[in-house]
Structure formats: C-alpha cells, structure tokens
C-alpha cells in the first residue's frame, strides 16, 4: 500500500512546474473572493469576474463594502449565480467588519476562524478550509471532488464515502508525521497538486493513465 507521501512525491514530479492560482503567494482578499465565486462553476468563469473586480479596483474589503448590490452583481456576473454569490460576498464582508476588518479576521486562529466561516451564509467546509489554507495561510487540508476521484481510483482512503470530514481525517492522520510541526505548506501544496492532477491527467472522462506516474499503483489504470 502506497502512503500519502508516496503519492504526493509522484504528483510533485508530474506537476510542480505548473502554475496554480492560489499558491504560493496570491493576494489573500482575491483568494477569498475566488474561493466564494468558484462554487458551482469553472475557474475560467471566475477569472472573468476577477478581471472585472480588478478593473473596478474592488479588491479590498473596504472598497467592496461600498458597492451597491447591483454594482457587485454586475461585476461578479461571469461567475454564474451572481445574485446568490453577491449575497455570499456580502455575508463574508459583514463577518469581516464585525471581526475588526479582513486582516484581523484572517489572523484569528484556525480553530476559531473555521466555525466563524461555517456560520456565514454560503460558506461550507470546502470553502472555509480553502480560505483558511490559501488566504489566512493557516493549516487546513482542503477536500474536494477531485481528491475523492483521484484517491478513490487509487483505492487509497475511505473510497466508499463521500463525507468531507471522513476524507479530511484520513489525510490529517496520514500526513501527521510528514511535516516538521508546521503543515501549512505541505497542505497547501498537496491540494494544489491534486487539483492540477485532476485537471490535466485524472480527468472525469478519458483519464490520461498512460502518462501518469501513479499508474503502476492504480487499480483503475488501463492495462498497457
């Protein structure tokens, strides 16, 4: 049985050279907005919305807070479900204001920040952990459908489950000894590599098993 670190090393060999939008040094507010806008849509649509927000100089909580709902809806429209996403951004901005501002909110320790985010309209476990990991740069392991697809195919983890917390526990326990007490970079990098692998190799349809260096361990890989 291969370990999570064995898989990580292979993913790193295959994808370390590729760029990824949230790692290692993206602007924390832009990351947070991206985490909310990417729900139920492709990243390319989010990019269009982010470009509009950039052009409107709206990339700070203080500026975004001054926009009317109509203005914000128009800016985020390319990301789809734009009225709903405007409500979600508004709820997040309210939380930030109540906690002394965006920077102060992100500086809240992860074990307090997570329930605050989860208690905010439109933020579920995946979005909360992505904000903690990539915007607050605190330890959180993000689970998503890509994680479950790749590791389900590899037969590693709770493969019959689609429970977010069960998968997250598996990764936290499995990676417990694989860092020097500060898992932030490992967790951020691991999830980034998982997303890149799902997009470029382990696609939903027609995975590129012939090009994948995990194929020797993967029961799903096509023979030959």
Phi/psi at 23 (5° precision): -145, 135
- DSSP-assigned letter for residue 91: H
Could you give the angle at the alpha carbon of 123 between the alpha carbons of 118 and 129, nearest 5°?
A: 70
Nearest-10 crossing angle of helices 184-200, 145-154: 80
Host H or E run for residue 127: helix 125-130
Q: Read off the DSSP letter of residue 204.
A: S
Nearest CB to ligand SF4, comparing residues 91 and 209: 209
Work out whether 7 is an interface residue with ligand SF4 (CB under 6 A): no
Residue 8 contacts ligand SF4 per CB under 6 A = no
When binding is defined by CB under 6 A, the residue of 134, 170, 190, 201 that contacts ligand SF4 is: 201
Residue 114: phi and psi, rounded to 5, are: -60, -55
* Count of residues near ligand SF4 by CB under 6 A: 14
Which region among 24-32, 91-99, 102-110, 205-213 touches ligand SF4 (by CB under 6 A)? 205-213
Kindly state whether residue 202 participates in binding ligand SF4, applying the rule CB under 6 A.
yes
CA distances from 27 to 55, 86, 147 (A): 16, 20, 25
Identity of the residue, 116 or 209, whose beta carbon is nearer to ligand SF4 in the bound complex: 209
Residue 215, Ramachandran bin (φ over 0: left; ψ between -120 and 50: alpha; else beta): alpha
CA atoms within 13 A on the CB side of 212: 29
**Is 194 a residue that touches ligand SF4 (CB under 6 A)?**
no
14 is a contact residue toward ligand SF4 (CB under 6 A): no
> Going residue by residue from 132 to 171, which x/- string records binding to ligand SF4, judged by CB under 6 A?
------------------x--xx-----------------
What is the DSSP code (8-state) at residue 9? H
C-beta of 18 vs 165, nearer to ligand SF4: 18
Minimum distance, C-beta of residue 202 to ligand SF4, in the bound complex (Å) = 3
Rule CB under 6 A: say whether 97 interacts with ligand SF4: no
Interface ranges with ligand SF4 (CB under 6 A):
150, 153-154, 201-202, 207-209, 212, 214-215, 218, 220-221
């Amino acid at each position: 049985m291969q370990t999570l670190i064995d898989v990580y090393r292979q993913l790193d060999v295959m994808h370390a050279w590729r760029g990824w939008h949230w790692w290692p040094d993206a602007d924390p507010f832009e990351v947070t907005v991206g985490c909310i806008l990417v729900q139920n849509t492709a990243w390319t649509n989010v990019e269009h919305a982010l470009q509009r927000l950039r052009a409107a100089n709206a990339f700070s909580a203080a500026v975004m807070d001054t926009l009317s709902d109509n203005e914000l809806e128009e800016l985020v429209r390319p990301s789809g479900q734009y009225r709903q996403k405007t409500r979600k951004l508004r709820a997040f901005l309210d939380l930030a204001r109540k906690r002394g501002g965006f920077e102060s909110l992100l500086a809240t320790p992860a074990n307090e920040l997570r329930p605050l985010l989860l208690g905010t309209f439109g933020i579920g476990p995946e979005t909360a952990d992505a904000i903690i990991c990539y915007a607050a740069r605190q330890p959180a392991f993000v689970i998503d459908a890509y994680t479950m697809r790749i590791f389900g195919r590899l037969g590693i983890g709770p493969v019959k489950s689609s429970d977010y917390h069960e998968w997250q526990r598996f990764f936290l326990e499995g990676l417990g000894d694989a860092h020097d007490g500060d898992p932030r970079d490992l967790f951020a990098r691991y999830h980034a590599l998982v997303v890149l692998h799902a997009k470029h190799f382990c696609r939903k349809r027609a995975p590129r098993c012939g090009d994948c260096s995990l194929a020797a361990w993967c029961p799903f890989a096509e023979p030959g």
